[in-house]
Structure 1
Amino acid sequence: MRLLTEGRPIGDTYEVERYLGEGAYSEVYRVRHRFLGRQAIKVFKRVGTLAETRRMLGEAVLLSKLGHRNVVRVFEAGTVETPAGERGFFTMEYVAAGNLDDFRRSHSDGFVPVDDAVEILVQLCAGLAVAHQAAPPIVHRDVTPWNVLVGYDQNRLRVRVGDFGLARRVDAETGLAGSGGTLAFMAPEALRYGQGASAAGDVYAVGTVAYLLLTDLLPYSDVPLTVFGARHRAPPISPHDLNRDVDHELAQVVLRALEPDLQRRPADAAALGRELAAWQASRKHRQHRPGGS
């Protein structure tokens, strides 16, 4: 049974329009604000009190106030009665085009074009970099295609990092926070240790997203079975071998993001974003050369 039903009011401010989807931790609906129009509402499946909701959303609200174009805006937090009891919710900007998984699946006749995929990844890194550059850094801990919103501004792709509900500040001395997230996108060190989340762990998640965008496959499908041996796994098949539109240089950028040893991985989203932007610049240069491709 879903937590909300279409047409029900939430307080005097919102009316539920339709169900959009769900993840492991929450359900998402489109709602209409009485004065401000359409927004999205995320209702937690387990979080039940306003204090818990506000505690979970502390970092999301902080990041939202920074006003970065690649970070989703959070508007309000509260609680609502559901068939499962009182549940926490927050509202955020609604992006009509949907999430990155919707975008990927819309290319059912082939792979996402490489230039579009890299532009999405560059913007994703720009949004995460805002969090990673905080003092101490804030780590997202759940970068997945379902938590990345993709829309358009004047026919140009615009990406927003969403769902900072699991975000945490790292320890100022160790640079680590408690592990959490979606197994297939978690870095090996986060899978092995309870305190293994880091900015470099978010980079690994972006690498997994990149691999999925470029190949329609996850780099590893056996994560739950190889938690303790994760560091010793062979590297995944090069994206170039699965999609010939991915050149060797881009494939190496993705594989560096998936490096099992976090010391050899780009340290944070800004570092990975620079590598991707450099590839973009090189690609444009090659395309504008006589005979370039």
Structure 2
Amino acid sequence: MRLLTEGSQIGDTYEIERYLGQGAYSEVYRVRHRFLGRQAMKVLKRVGTLAETRRMLGEAVLLSRLGHPNIVRVFDAGTVPTPAGDRGFFTMEYVAAGNLDDYRRSRPTGSVPVDDAVEILVQLCAGLAVAHRSDPPVVHRDITPWNVLVGYDQDRLRVRVGDFGLARRVEARSGLTSSEGTLAFMAPEALRYGQGASPAGDVYAVGTVAYLLLTNLLPYEDVPATTFGARHRPPPISPHDLNRDVHPGLAGIVLGALEADLTRRFSDAAELGSALTAWQDAHQGTSEEEESR
């Protein structure tokens, strides 16, 4: 049973227009605000009280106020009665094109053209870098294709990092925070005792997203239950070997983001984004030139 019913009202402010989907932690609806128009509403499955909702969404609200074009804006938060009891919700800007998984699956082959994939990754890193540059850094902890929204501004791709509901500030001493997220996208160290999430862990998740965009495969089909298992498995196959359109230099950047050894991985989204931007600038238009020959 869904938490909200299409066509119902929440107070005199929101009308539930359409169910959009769900994840492990929430259901998503398209709603119409009485004055502000169409928005997206996430209803949290496990959080009930307003105090708990505010605590969970504290970092999301903080980041939304920065107004970065690659971060989803959060407008409102509160609680709503549902058949399962009171549940917390928050509203954010509605992106009609959907999430990155929708975008990826809309491609004929399932893999995204290399130039588009790099542009998506550069914008994803730009939004995530805002969180990582905070003092102390904020870790998203759940970067997946379902939490990245893709739309268009004047026919140009525009990417927004969404769902900061699991975001947490790292501890000042350790530079780490508790581990949460989607197992297939979690870094090896994030599995250790449940207390290993860091900006470098978000980088690993971006690397997993990049691999999926370029190859239509996850870097690892198995999800290790322990840090030991993750650290001792061989590196994934190079994206270049799975998709010849992927330049070896770009493949190296992706594999660098997926390094099990923290000392060899990009430390945060800004560093990864710089590497991707440098590659993008050096190879701008290469695909078009090759096609014209």
* TM interval, short-chain normalised: over 0.9
Q: Alpha-carbon deviations, 1:243-285, whole Å to 9, x = none?
A: 1110100000000000001121100000000010011011027
Aligned equivalents of 1:291 and 1:102: distance in 2? 27
Supply the AA of the counterpart residue of 2:155.
Answer: N
The answer to whether the 8 Å contact 2:104/2:110 transfers is: no
Q: Alpha-carbon deviations, 1:76-108, whole Å to 9, x = none?
A: 000011111110000000000000000000003
Aligned equivalents of 1:131 and 1:107: distance in 2? 30
Pairwise mapping of residues 94-173 of structure 1 onto structure 2 (< 5 A)? 94-173=94-173
Structure 2: gaps spanning 5 or more residues: none
The answer to whether the 8 Å contact 2:111/2:212 transfers is: no
Counterpart position of 1:4: 4
Aligned equivalents of 1:273 and 1:47: distance in 2? 34
Aligned equivalents of 1:191 and 1:148: distance in 2? 23
Greater shift in the superposed pair: 185-194 or 204-213: 185-194
Counterpart position of 2:67: 67
Structure 1: gaps spanning 5 or more residues: none
Aligned equivalents of 1:65 and 1:51: distance in 2? 20
Identity %: 79
Q: Relative to 1, partners in 2 of residues 1:189 and 1:14: Cα closer, same or farther, differing over 3 Å?
A: same
Q: CA deviation at 1:173?
A: 1.5
User: Structure 1 segments of 4 or more deviating over 6 A?
Assistant: 287-293
TM-score (structure 2 length as normaliser):
0.97
Counterpart position of 1:187: 187
Aligned equivalents of 1:32 and 1:289: distance in 2? 45
Q: CA deviation at 1:287?
A: 6.3
Pairwise mapping of residues 12-91 of structure 1 onto structure 2 (< 5 A)? 12-91=12-91
Q: Aligned to 1:200, what secondary structure does the other structure show? A: helix
Counterpart position of 1:230: 230
Q: Alpha-carbon deviations, 1:220-251, whole Å to 9, x = none?
A: 12114455311111000110111111010000
The answer to whether the 8 Å contact 1:286/1:292 transfers is: no
Q: CA deviation at 1:286?
A: 5.0
Aligned equivalents of 1:83 and 1:228: distance in 2? 43
Aligned positions, number: 293
Q: Relative to 1, partners in 2 of residues 1:290 and 1:224: Cα closer, same or farther, differing over 3 Å?
A: closer
